A = this chain, B = another copy of it.
Amino acid sequence: MGAQVRIGMIGAGRIGKIHTDNLLACPGAEVVAISDPCADAALEEWGAVRNIAVLPDSDAIMANPGIDAVFICSPTNTHVPLIKQAALVGKHIFCEKPVSLDLARTAAAVEAAHTAGVKLQIGFNRRFDHNFKRIRELVQDGTIGSLHMVKITSRDPSPPSPDYIRLSGGIFIDMMIHDFDMARYIAGCEIEEVYAQGEVLIDPIFATYGDLDTAVVTLKFANGALGVIDNSRQAVYGYDQRLEVLGARGSAAIANDYPNTAVISTASGIYRDKPLHFFLERYHEAYKEETRQFIDAIIHKRSVPVDGNDGLQAEQAALAALISSRLKRPVKVSEALQLSRQEGLSFA
């Protein structure tokens, strides 16, 4: 009746703690240890309450033969070496997105996991959201008919800190990567070509780091459908996460989730509260489902729902978008890596 999957959590930041708490409530999972170079008394206490060992680095986790799987929630630049190390010692891997800011390194990490025969799941949490899943079903079951168009709106309530922006790799790999993955998931096929347009309209700090804060990217899918993604780093009314599909037999659209359904009518108008504030609230249940499915995949020896190739494809689309925005022309996803080298354009 004991846990069937013992886990080492690498990285005790916000997302590492969320995954930990979700795993605590997940039948069949046990979090044995959590490592973080910034481990302090507060983290010690946080671990003690949960009966989880707190470690200063991930080596002991990697060396512990009693640990079946690791969650990599440390900074992006550590993902690739940790994946390789975990693969070598035969541990299953859940890794946050993006795998890296360098497509070749991502490919190598994915390959390492594959070769070692360990599972590698990438943290595209939105696939587990009730709304997006419903759209996926409607496309898959034929309700929408053959697909003509996918439209994704994804806007944050407010920009991240300058430090975050500086290291993020830019809007395409840091933010829109979720939407590239969603586009592939919904369309059920690969993105073949992108055309990206972006501006700095919110805060000049983005320009300082060569980044953009507002972007519109059009897509061509392998099945002939068209797509468009729009991103903004600041929707003052809150986290805006919508998607629409159009097909030969109809369309389907999802709206935001709200904290309540109350509609208030006064002498000055009709109003309601703003949508769920940000990803922690909006994707609360999706994060739980994401970890549950990873654990289930291990227990039942099934494929993970989002694998290394999914991570790689989304990064490749993001790279194509970056290049398109710089070269001001459409870019095929298949030519992104070569163009990146040729033109010296990368996320780093």
**A residues whose Cβ falls under 8 Å from a Cβ of B:** 1, 25, 48-49, 130-131, 133-135, 138, 143, 146, 148-149, 151, 155, 195, 197-199, 201-202, 214-216, 218, 220, 224-228, 230, 232, 234-238, 240, 246, 248-257, 259-267, 269-275, 328-330
Contacts and interface: CB of A to CB of B under 8 A. Distances in A.
Contacts of A131: 260-262
A191 to B, nearest CB: 13
A255 to B, nearest CB: 4
B218 A267 contact: no
Contacts of A238: 265
A149 B246 contact: no
A20 B49 CA distance: 21
A314 B48 CA distance: 44
22 contacts: A130-B259, A138-B264, A143-B266, A146-B201, A148-B202, A148-B232, A149-B232, A216-B218, A216-B228, A234-B248, A236-B248, A236-B249, A249-B267, A250-B264, A250-B266, A252-B263, A252-B265, A253-B262, A253-B263, A254-B260, A269-B271, A270-B275
Contact of A330 (B138, B201, B274, B328): B328
Contact of A226 (B216, B257, B265, B329): B216
B274 A270 contact: yes
Nearest to A27: B49
A263 B263 CA distance: 13
A4 to B, nearest CB: 13
B232 A246 contact: yes
A199 B226 contact: yes
Contact of A236 (B230, B234, B266): B266
Contacts of A267: 236-237, 249-250
B218 A197 contact: yes
A274 to B, nearest CB: 6
Nearest to A234: B248
A197 B216 contact: no
A197 B273 CA distance: 34
Contacts of A227: 216
Contacts of A235: 246, 251, 265
B248 A265 contact: no
Closest 7 CB pairs of A and B: A237-B265, A271-B271, A250-B266, A255-B261, A134-B260, A236-B267, A134-B262
